[in-house]
Amino acid sequence: MRCKAGFAVVIAALALSSAPVRADAPVVAATGDHSRVLPLQGGRNFRDLGGYRSADGRSVKWRVLFRSGSMTGLTANDYAYLEKLGIRVVCDLRDNRERIAEPVQWPAAAAPQVLSSDYLLDQRAMLPAGPPVQWTAEAARASLAAQYPRLLAQFNGQYRRMFAELLAGHAPLAFNCSAGKDRTGIAAALLLTALGVPRATVIEDYLLTNQTLDTGSLAKSGAISQLPAPAIKAMLAADPSYIAAAFAVIDAHVDGADGYLRDELGLGAADIAHLRGLYLE
Q: Show which residues are catalytic.
A: 177
DSSP-assigned beta bridge partners for residue 53: 59
Question: Do 243 and 186 form a contact (C-beta atoms < 8 A)?
Answer: yes
Question: One-letter amino acid identity for 220?
Answer: K
* 34-56 as b/e: b if 16+ CB within 10 A: eebbbebebbbbbbbbbbbebee
- Rounded to whole angstroms, the Cα distance separating 178 from 108 reads 23
* Helix 156-167, helix 269-279: angle, nearest 10: 60
CA distance 60 to 277: 10
Distance, C-alpha 24 to centroid of its chain: 21
CA distances from 245 to 137, 145, 164 (A): 17, 6, 25
